[in-house]
Structure 1
Amino acid sequence: MDERHDSQRILRFSNNLDSLTETMASTKKQTVIRYENTLASLQEKFAEMENTRRSGTIEEQLRAITATFSETKLENETSVAMFTQTTRQLDSRLRQTLNSMGKERDEGRCRMEKALDGRIGLVEDTRRKFSPAQSFTNKTLLTDLDRLAKECEALVSGGRRADHAFEETIARDITELRAGMKRSLAVAQRRRNEMRSKFEAVVAGLDEAMAREASDRRESEHTLCGLVESACYRVSRAKALEEVIQRHLLADVERKSRSTMNTLVYDVDEANPRVRNQTMPHDRVHTVEDLVPWWISTGDDDDTLLFESRFESGNLGQAFRVADNEYNLYLHADTNTKGHTQWYYFSVKNTKRDATVKFNIVNLAKPDSLYNYGMRPLVLSKQQMDGANIGWRRACRNVCYFANGVRRRGSSSYYTLTFTYDFKSDGDTVYFAHCYPYTRTDLTYYLDRLELNPRIRQHIRRRALCRTISGDVCETVTISSFTNDPDALRKRRGLVISARVHPGETQSSWMMKGVLDYLTADTPDARLLRDNFVFKIIPMMNPDGVVLGNYRCNLAGNDLNRQWMRPDERLHPTVFNLKAAIERFTEARDVILFCDLHGHSRKKNIFMYGCNNSGNPDLRLKERIFPKLLNANAPSFSFEDCSFKVQKSKDSTARVVVWRALRVMNSFTMEASFCGPSYGRDDGFHFCQRTFEEMGSVLCESILDYCDPDTTRVDAIHQELSLQYPVEPDDVMMEDSEDSDDGDAKEGKKKKEKVGKKGKSKKGKKKRKIARTFSDMGADDTKEAVEVRPRSLSAATTRERPSRLKTGPRKGKKRG
């Protein structure tokens, strides 16, 4: 009987090996062809750039600018020659005028001298006619002589006056001629300076063009080198991945201990038939230590790891021991679904010091993962936590994510995440997780601690939004400076922030913790926000999914972020009641922002998805102002990764429904990567809990900047966006890469599209307009800003929360 089972097991293994070999060969062939084509295209681009450079684009521009300079120089020389000729003509005319005026003055002087000589001669003749002896009794004669003498004197003085007036006229004409020459000289000098400025501008333009061309050439060469290096890196990575797959196959073939091959060592849904009175998943436990291990050790020599996931937010379906130090793990699908296997959180016991164990999670669904771009699993050692206060850290090695050749029913293959871990001590309990866990119990403890603080208690109102399908409570927290004046509260504007609609995206809970820490702090900025706004906080939208360890869905197996258009009160109670609460909130006050916090598994950085207001000219680009403020305030935020299109497939998401139906202009989804940033000094590092909490704090700081009565900064950002996007941005009509489109959904969609394309002609296809207008919304962002006091630059500080071991599942929570 055992021999027959062994032969069947060997036959199945051989078939799987053949399938994996075929998959590997096909993948290798496709990868080599794809990257050969990429290298060929890059070489063609490089040759084209070399031909362009050798064709003499710079030389042509240089010749054109040289010709322009020659023409400018010739024009300048012509202007100088004309000025010299004009100066000579003026000089000649001045000399001619002076000569003619001198001749006229000499002729007048001669005439005057002749007249004087005639009169003087007449007087002398008259005097000679009378001798001294004669009597001067003739008075008439004496009178004539006196009159004649006076006339002579008058004639002399008149000549002097005429000479003086002539000299003044000559001096005035000379002065006017000199002024005219100076003006002409100034005009010529100005023209010369203009010509010199034009020449210098031409030379500067030539230098700038040459520098720009050189810079473009260097940048193109750098970009081309980067593309070549990237292609080479991808080729080498593909080869390395092929080697990893081959190594895994060889390791499977060369396993010596057949007694441990494919031994089931853990099953969360079934009891071990060899163990009596075993704890089942639905049984209530207080701590992980209270659980009876699924695998019972056969003796001291049994080094089988004891797996466990029957605690809050835990997810591990089965574990098989396939070699002495290697285990194949199968994740549990989301409740009432057949997919969404991404979130894992489990523990192992019975560890041995210096033992290196390999873990293979073999039923992942997404075709790509950040694990191939530097991301590593999280590890927490209970002994290190208790002894040295060392919490979650990235300590796994040999991390790889690849298609494993196992086909899903009616779909593509599954994917494997493989990694190794070196255990540091004997008898330790070690936890492994996809991201920093944040359970329902963690949230309860945190909110209880806020309520127990007398200072914080007066600023918060903790209420139940509704009951979930399992009977748990979905809580809301209202934060403001509450007064006895209802009118004052009614005048305050509102903001809505929600988190954890997807249970596996624990980053959102850590960002929400940063928001709550900031708003409840005793700082000037926090008081300013509480005095002028009312915050509606929903810290955990899907508590059922969080308790059960789901990745995306609630207890009914529905993605709650796809139910906002028509939520069902029984199947989606949290979405149904929150939508109604936001509608009442918007009727009571002006809601300026809605933000839904998420995590992203395929992109790095922290970024936002918004809703484009292209249909309303008054609101154009204003939805991008708040993300721009975040980009300026937070080093981890990337505006370049933001998208503001409204895709048809996202019509039922929270941000689109709140924007379109509830008319909140600033409606966003904030996505935080599971991995880390792709730029700056932190490139190559992971995000940690403090990073997410600081992002929540910066979100609140940016709200203050956005609502500041001094709109200088906001106006400057809007002007910058207008210059950056003079026409409608290209991303309005593009598809976004929101993480809500998980691998299972995408593959199902592709399959439907492939089937639907049969029998359809291209002419019968209709283009679907994706961009949504905002013209009929009636949104008004011209309301006056809240009058607030000038705030200080201090910000609320956040402390890193110590990790705690999780307790067992809550009563009544069953995995479907």
Structure 2
Amino acid sequence: MKITSNFDSGNIKVLASNEPLDIQLAINNDNESEFFQWFHFRLESTPFLQHKMQIGGLEKSAYPEGWDDYQAVASYDRQTWFRVPTSYENGTLTIDFEPEQSHTYFAYFAPYSYERHLDLLYWAQSHDACEIETLGETLDGRDISLLTIGEPEEGKKKIWITARQHPGETMAEWFVEGLLHKLLDDEDPHAAALLSKAVFYVVPNMNPDGSVRGHLRTNAVGVNLNREWAEPSLEKSPEVFHVLNKMHDTGLDMYLDIHGDEALPYNFVAGSEGIPSYDARLESLENDFKAALLTITPEFQDEFGYPKDAPGEANLTVASCAVGEAFKALAYTIEMPFKDNANLPDPYYGWSDRRSYQFGQDTLAAIVSVVDKLR
């Protein structure tokens, strides 16, 4: 029997693995950080033999409440990820599983590999409407890549989308993949309508270093990028530094920052009602966008989410608040669950890569309802 995480986005620590029914594991912290929650490993063992894998110490994880009612995902082919019997008690996550193959992958959510990220970038570049630009380098020397989609013209709106500031929130890049496939479909009516009126600026992965390292929340040096938007630096957060500079170069009329939430089993948005410049215009745009999403997809809801900030009390180090304030623009954080969508549960897959992909396409369609009103 062997357990390894020596691959892209792998993360696990083997404490004991002598018996299939007594496999003791732990999750490594993000580098130079106290955050940990993401796991991704491979089990090599005997098919049709019952295994009990216990991941301990989770009472000190980044979001202990995220383990309640959570089911881990597994895959034999690294393409289809399904939920497996999982329980949580007293800081220990227990996965009970009888593999059908000799090698099985397990993860916190369906992984989105760095190679798939590169494939997405260069698939997009092959379309006439899209250009790729390297804005700078991460601390580990990886590219910070921007896709520009549409022909910049006088009067066109500028719509920015970023994903995976928190690298373990892989559903965010699945979302972007779905959005890009729809936006670059020459026969899609929503794409045609939007590209006649807007240019899209898309960063599919804000944090490639953390993604490859198997981090939950931080970059190569343990910095939470979504707390760097007030004063980003080349020394600590070049990812935010370069993207924010580019936003100021292009201008911005709408911004969506794509995330995943460990605890809440719903899709929801978090707005910028606490920023100093929030007014009736921004409130109307927010309401129109939410109404469109509610009409387009039953995966979205507006009952459960984060508490709203009081007027003037927004955290301006957070991307959606900082950008909303700087550009006086519609700016939303979009959150998806690591668990299942409690309103539309799927016991076999839960909330999944495929549903994230579709939600990205549905969200693109919802932008049609607000694009004419952005300025």
Same fold by TM-score greater than 0.5: yes
Alignment of 1:142-291 (within 5 A): none
Q: Is the 8 A contact 1:677 1:685 kept in 2?
A: no
Q: Is the 8 A contact 2:74 2:106 kept in 1?
A: yes
State whether structure 2 residue 118 is matched by structure 1 residue 444.
yes
**Cα 1:554–1:681 shift into 2, 3 Å:** closer
C-alpha separation in 2, matches of 1:540 and 1:673: 18
C-alpha separation in 1, matches of 2:64 and 2:316: 25
Instruction: Output the amino acid matched with 2:141.
Output: G
C-alpha separation in 2, matches of 1:620 and 1:475: 31
Please point out which of 410, 423, 427 is paired with 2:99.
423
> How many Å apart are 1:692 and its aligned residue?
0.7
**Cα 1:656–1:615 shift into 2, 3 Å:** closer
> How many Å apart are 1:701 and its aligned residue?
0.7
Residue aligned with 2:32, SS:
coil
> How many Å apart are 1:570 and its aligned residue?
1.9
C-alpha separation in 2, matches of 1:318 and 1:649: 41
Q: Is the 8 A contact 2:71 2:87 kept in 1?
A: no
> How many Å apart are 1:620 and its aligned residue?
4.5
Alignment of 1:133-148 (within 5 A): none
Partner of 2:301: 638
Partner of 1:654: 319
> How many Å apart are 1:652 and its aligned residue?
0.6
C-alpha separation in 1, matches of 2:243 and 2:371: 25
C-alpha separation in 2, matches of 1:519 and 1:623: 22
State whether structure 2 residue 181 is matched by structure 1 residue 517.
yes
C-alpha separation in 2, matches of 1:704 and 1:371: 37
C-alpha separation in 2, matches of 1:571 and 1:312: 23
Partner of 2:146: 476
> How many Å apart are 1:593 and its aligned residue?
1.2
- State the Cα deviation string for residues 234-266 of structure 1 (Å, max 9, x = none): xxxxxxxxxxxxxxxxxxxxxxxxxxxxxxxxx
Larger Rg: 1
- State the Cα deviation string for residues 55-106 of structure 1 (Å, max 9, x = none): xxxxxxxxxxxxxxxxxxxxxxxxxxxxxxxxxxxxxxxxxxxxxxxxxxxx
Q: Is the 8 A contact 1:369 1:401 kept in 2?
A: no
**Cα 1:467–1:615 shift into 2, 3 Å:** closer
Residue aligned with 2:234, SS:
coil
Q: Is the 8 A contact 2:288 2:369 kept in 1?
A: no
Partner of 1:392: 81
State whether structure 2 residue 196 is matched by structure 1 residue 531.
yes
**Cα 1:461–1:572 shift into 2, 3 Å:** same
Residue aligned with 1:528, SS:
helix
- State the Cα deviation string for residues 308-344 of structure 1 (Å, max 9, x = none): 111110001233136452111011110112x222100
**Cα 1:327–1:376 shift into 2, 3 Å:** same
Residue aligned with 2:52, SS:
strand
Partner of 1:600: 261
Partner of 1:306: 2
**Cα 1:632–1:668 shift into 2, 3 Å:** same
Residue aligned with 2:124, SS:
helix
Instruction: Output the amino acid matched with 2:49.
Output: A
Q: TM-score, normalized by length of structure 1?
A: 0.43
> How many Å apart are 1:649 and its aligned residue?
7.2
Q: Is the 8 A contact 1:608 1:641 kept in 2?
A: no
Q: Is the 8 A contact 1:348 1:429 kept in 2?
A: yes
C-alpha separation in 2, matches of 1:379 and 1:681: 18
Please point out which of 360, 366, 380 is paired with 2:75.
380
**Cα 1:348–1:644 shift into 2, 3 Å:** closer
Please point out which of 135, 154, 163 is paired with 1:465.
135
Partner of 2:271: 610
Please point out which of 214, 237, 246 is paired with 1:572.
237
**Cα 1:684–1:437 shift into 2, 3 Å:** closer
Residue aligned with 1:575, SS:
helix
Gaps of 5+ in 1: 1-304, 404-414, 483-487, 710-780, 784-816
Partner of 2:38: 343
C-alpha separation in 1, matches of 2:41 and 2:344: 33
Alignment of 1:81-100 (within 5 A): none
C-alpha separation in 1, matches of 2:197 and 2:253: 12
C-alpha separation in 2, matches of 1:542 and 1:660: 23
Q: Is the 8 A contact 1:562 1:653 kept in 2?
A: yes
- The two structures, once aligned, show a CA RMSD in angstroms of 2.3
> How many Å apart are 1:552 and its aligned residue?
0.5
Instruction: Output the amino acid matched with 2:100.
Output: K
Instruction: Output the amino acid matched with 2:206.
Output: M
> How many Å apart are 1:690 and its aligned residue?
1.9
- State the Cα deviation string for residues 565-624 of structure 1 (Å, max 9, x = none): 1111221001011111112222xxxx3310000001100111100012796355554422
- State the Cα deviation string for residues 380-404 of structure 1 (Å, max 9, x = none): 124xx7xxxx72211x22x22122x
> How many Å apart are 1:633 and its aligned residue?
1.0
**Cα 1:371–1:684 shift into 2, 3 Å:** farther
**Cα 1:635–1:684 shift into 2, 3 Å:** farther
> How many Å apart are 1:468 and its aligned residue?
0.6
Instruction: Output the amino acid matched with 1:433.
Output: A
State whether structure 2 residue 30 is matched by structure 1 residue 334.
yes
Alignment of 1:731-746 (within 5 A): none
Partner of 1:353: 47
> How many Å apart are 1:680 and its aligned residue?
4.8
Partner of 2:362: 698
Q: Is the 8 A contact 2:264 2:305 kept in 1?
A: no
State whether structure 2 residue 5 is matched by structure 1 residue 318.
no
Q: Is the 8 A contact 2:157 2:371 kept in 1?
A: no
> How many Å apart are 1:372 and its aligned residue?
2.8
C-alpha separation in 2, matches of 1:618 and 1:572: 32
Identity %: 25
Aligned length: 368
Q: Is the 8 A contact 1:611 1:623 kept in 2?
A: no
Instruction: Output the amino acid matched with 1:492.
Output: K
C-alpha separation in 2, matches of 1:680 and 1:347: 30
**Cα 1:654–1:357 shift into 2, 3 Å:** same
Residue aligned with 2:134, SS:
strand
> How many Å apart are 1:371 and its aligned residue?
4.1
Q: TM-score, normalized by length of structure 2?
A: 0.91
Partner of 2:339: 675
**Cα 1:618–1:370 shift into 2, 3 Å:** closer
> How many Å apart are 1:363 and its aligned residue?
2.4
> How many Å apart are 1:499 and its aligned residue?
0.2
> How many Å apart are 1:354 and its aligned residue?
2.1
> How many Å apart are 1:446 and its aligned residue?
2.1
> How many Å apart are 1:438 and its aligned residue?
0.2
> How many Å apart are 1:676 and its aligned residue?
1.7
Partner of 1:248: none
C-alpha separation in 2, matches of 1:682 and 1:431: 20
